[in-house]
Amino acid sequence: MDLEKLVALGEKMGLSGAELRKWVTQKEKEEKERAKEEKAAELEKERLAVERAKAEKKLSWNERGHAKRVCRLIRSELWRQTRLLQDYLRVLCYASDPPWKAEVELRSLRAYTARMVEFWWASYLSSVLHVIRKKAEKRRSESPVLVLGDDVEIPEHVERILKKGPKFSYEPVVPPQELLAFNRRVATRAPQDQYVRCLLEGVDALSRTVHKANCHQRRDPTEQVVKYFRENDLCLLQADKEGGFVVLGSGSYAEKAMKAISKNFVSVKSSTVRVKTKAVNMCKDFELVRLARDISTSKGNALKVFFTAKTHKPGVPLRTIVNEQGSWQHSVSQFLLKELNGLKVVDPFATKSSEDVVRFLQVENCTDFMFSVDVEDLFIPFLMRSCSRLFVPALIRMES
């Protein structure tokens, strides 16, 4: 403040010079304290905003699931109140009108109350979602499609479907008559006095939600993918660990498949039928009648093999996967598994899962090295002498 203004203000207030200076000092001190309080309030507001943002960010999926469960409970409570109101309406309608007129009036009032409940629920839900910040749904990432071979090309519409990944599927279309039949089956589960009400409410819900456009059978877009692959002599494989699909020509597929089979299998001259006959005769010699019957009735004479592509390795080799379902080897393996489970073999290197190895490394504090186990053999051959040393002591302990 200027000196002339201070002098004029002091003369106007009747203050001397010392009193005027004291008054000005007090006013400046009050202004500083007020500014300090405002700044502290702003800082506190910013701190609370940051803490609120962190709290919302730390909101776990369990808490979100709890919020959803609470919302479902609230909706269930609203529907309970609605059903109670419908019971009141039924009593009022049948008490004041004849039955044929009361039924028509009751159905119109039920439809009106259903619309009102849906409106109330939508309004309440929007206010709840406005308070609780709803996390935006993550956009589903497309699976990569690996094309092997310079002469292999796939059109855009085929690639667009393959990018959806192996787990993608299309929702089946349920005909209207099946929906009505399902509604009737659900209504039969209700108490006898509530059967008609559940049936009518289900019909009203179907009339509001099911449209004619959704009842027509949609064409499966995967049919054009299958047709294109057959016409162009292409093969489709699933990626081993990264997900997605691998496209390659039939010649390249045959070459890679032969390499994978020659790596894991040994070629023999015996026919599959002859080996199966020998297995049946051996079971009969050991008086395993039931196992011999299972082997004889099985349709498959050999193991089934299919492949997946190892996209994480150079050259994209194929992984061999054996399926014994439907073959006589499945009956033999189930029999051996059942009988050998009773043996208690003492093996210091046996582990039930990889968690045993992790716990061992944590206890031993093995932090200076790393290792990886790669299983090469699909089946491990045992010599008879090794088997006798392994299983005979276990059999003796089990009998004793």
Give me the pLDDT at residue 397, please.
61
DSSP-assigned letter for residue 212: G
Is residue 399 over pLDDT 60? Answer: no
Residue 146 three-state SS: strand
For the record, the structure tokens of 20 come out as: 């005027």
- Residue 334 CA to residue 343 CA, distance in Å, equals 15
Question: Which of 259, 371, 272, 363 is CA-nearest to residue 316?
Answer: 259
- Predicted TM-score (pTM) of the model is 0.49
Radius of gyration of the chain (CA): 39
Burial category of 183 from C-beta neighbours within 10 Å (exposed 0-12, middle 13-18, buried 19 and up): middle
Q: What's the Cα-to-Cα distance from 344 to each of 29, 304, 337, 348, 355, rounded to whole Å? A: 88, 32, 13, 12, 21
Do 275 and 327 touch, CB atoms closer than 8 A? no
Q: Could you report the per-residue pLDDT of 25-59, keeping only the tens digit for each?
A: 777 777 788 788 888 878 888 877 777 776 665 55
Q: Could you report the per-residue pLDDT of 361-378, keeping only the tens digit for each?
A: 777 766 666 666 666 554
Q: Where are the domains of the chain?
A: 3-57, 61-131, 145-226, 227-399
Is residue 199 over pLDDT 80? Answer: yes
Taken in order 179, 180, 182, 183, is the CA torsion positive or negative?
positive
- Residue 397 CA to residue 345 CA, distance in Å, equals 10
